[in-house]
Amino acid sequence: MTDTHEVVAAYWAAAEARDWDAFGSLLADDVVYEAPQTRERVRGRAAYIRFNNEGFSGQWHVTVQQIVAEPRRAASWIQMSEPDEAYPGLCFFEIGDDGRIAKITDFWPEPCGLPAARAHLVERY
């Protein structure tokens, strides 16, 4: 377990608690968030707290599935649960010199169909 592991665990715990002071304390002043699927970007701690606090009104809950961490970067796999659905979320983190989160890249893969071309090569679960 690295300090970076603890930073990412604390990030998700603060998000789950809607504790935006604790959440913000983990972020660099100039943190950058990007979501490649929508090509969204948010710059700076205050804007990123507001994005999380105001951008997602649902009764969402986060369960951490895995955190993989090196001293300066990490990845997390969470399960996001809402009243009617649950789905995975994947983030890659970069950590700055001061140990705070400098960059977050966020992915939300969605369920999709199995291509017929490889159906004979797999089982389903």
**β-strand partners of 42:** 33
CB under 8 A: which stretch of 12-20, 21-29, 74-82 binds a copy of itself? 74-82
Distance in angstroms (rounded) separating the CA atoms of residues 3 and 81: 27
CB of 42 to a copy of itself, least distance (A): 5
Gap between the Cα atoms of 27 and 46, Å rounded:
10
Contact call for residue 84 and a copy of itself (CB under 8 A): no
**56 in contact with a copy of itself (CB under 8 A):** yes
Alpha-carbon distance 104 to 75, whole Å?
A: 9
Of positions 18, 29, 30, 36, contacts a copy of itself by CB under 8 A: 36
Contact call for residue 77 and a copy of itself (CB under 8 A): yes
d(CA 113, CA 30): 39
Nearer to a copy of itself, 29 or 51 (CB): 51
Question: Binding to a copy of itself by residue 50, rule CB under 8 A?
Answer: yes
81 binds a copy of itself, rule: CB under 8 A: no
By the 10 Å C-beta count (0-12 exposed, 13-18 middle, 19+ buried), 4 is classed as buried
Contacts of 115 (CB under 8 A, 6+ apart): none
Contact positions vs a copy of itself (CB under 8 A) = 34, 36-43, 47, 50-51, 54-57, 66, 68-70, 73-75, 77, 88, 90, 92, 105, 107-114, 117-118, 121-125
